[in-house]
Amino acid sequence: MRLWFSSPESQCVAYAPHTGHDFPINLQQQLLDLNISLTPIQHSDLFSTRGLNTFKSMNKRLFEFLTPLIEPKLAKMPISYLNSRIFHIIGYPTDVSHYVTDILRLRDKQLPPPIFVWEPTPECASKEYVQSWIEAMQLVDIISPNHEEIAAVLGLISEDYKKNDHLMTSEMLGYMADKLLEHQIGLHGKGCVIIRASRKGCLVATKERKEIIPAYWEPLEGGNDNPSVIDVTGAGNSFCGGLMVGLLKSNLDVFKAALYGAISASFTIEQIGVPRFKINEQGIETWNLGDNPQTRLQILKLRIENT
């Protein structure tokens, strides 16, 4: 999200990190340097939440928590955070019910309902959770699993990851999206499914329309990996952050918003770690090697128009 807002407008991005007694000082400074609305909530009796990603290949990742997860406490957040226009929820279906209920209870009742984007965690991507997904989808406006997560919930995935390449075809993505759209998404059934599909990009699907939004860093000819893609960790999270910005800037047009998601993800996968932020000698904010998110957005728009 921060990619799209220069200071001081960047203060519209709200973040309340829950940290343990061992949270690294250098990471605290990185968060402060972003000049976002930051409200750290420290737990002096707990270790910071840490996770381990293990890549079996670029298409197969295992994740595990190394320390207990610190659950966010919404009641401890500033009311301005709870009055936000849009929320990104990463978690189990039960987390969706918990957070949506609490946010609506705690926020200003005079405000219009917020937009909820749900990114299911890999741990709840299995057939036994399908009914829980269906119930949680009714509470959110957008659900955004990746292609393997939705396939696992629908019972379509193979244990042999090499046999799952067909999951990224346009036909299969459309089929899987339709299976979710058969059920109610959002309070009025007008929600959207966005399936993130790695180098394919993503499929944005409503009951009326489907569209593939390509990844900014597309595969080279012959399907070879793009050398600009260094580490895909966090790409899905970044996509959702960009998507949220795009929703606000496009008057809730999910198809236009997905372009912002693709650009945010493109900056995350260019290096190990988060996008590198700095201010140059002219006082202009730059990311990574200096590319501007707006410039990339225009490039992606032109590429789609010329396809």
pLDDT tens, 251-296?
999 999 999 999 999 999 999 988 998 888 888 888 998 889 999 9
Q: How far apart are CA 35 and CA 11, in angstroms?
A: 6
Distance CA 99, CA 79 (A): 15
Give the pLDDT of residue 80: 94
CA distance 26 to 63: 24
pLDDT of 160 reads 54
Q: Using one digit for the tens of pLDDT, what is the confidence trace for 110-159?
A: 999 999 999 999 889 999 999 999 999 999 999 999 999 999 999 997 65
Average pLDDT over residues 201-223: 92
The string of pLDDT tens digits covering residues 32-89 is 999 999 999 999 999 999 988 887 765 567 888 899 999 888 988 899 999 999 999 9
The pTM (predicted TM-score) of the whole model is 0.93
**Residues sharing a CB contact under 8 Å with residue 225, sequence separation 6 or more, in sequence order:** 58, 199, 219
The pLDDT assigned to 244 comes to: 97
pLDDT score for 280? 82
Cα distances (angstroms) measured from residue 231 to each of 215, 236, 268: 15, 12, 8
Give the separation between CA 208 and CA 125, rounded to whole angstroms. Answer: 26
The pLDDT value given to residue 72: 85
Read off the pLDDT of residues 161-172 as tens digits, 9 standing for 90 and up. Answer: 555 667 889 999
pLDDT of residue 147: 93
pLDDT digits (tens, 9 = 90+) for 8-32: 999 999 999 999 999 999 999 999 9
Pairing assessment for the beta strands 202-205 and 192-196 based on DSSP bridges: antiparallel
Q: Using 50, 70 and 90 to split pLDDT, how confident is the model at 223?
A: confident
H-assigned helices in the chain: 25-33, 79-82, 93-106, 130-137, 147-153, 170-181, 235-249, 254-268, 293-305
Query: Which residue, among 240, 248, 252, has the nearest Cα to 146 in the 3D structure?
Result: 240
Kindly tell me the sign of the dihedral angle through the C-alpha atoms of 130, 201, 265, 38.
negative
Domains parsed from the chain with CATH numbers = 2-305 (3.40.1190.20)
What percent of the residues of the chain are helix, what percent strand, and what percent coil, each to the nearest 5? 40, 20, 40
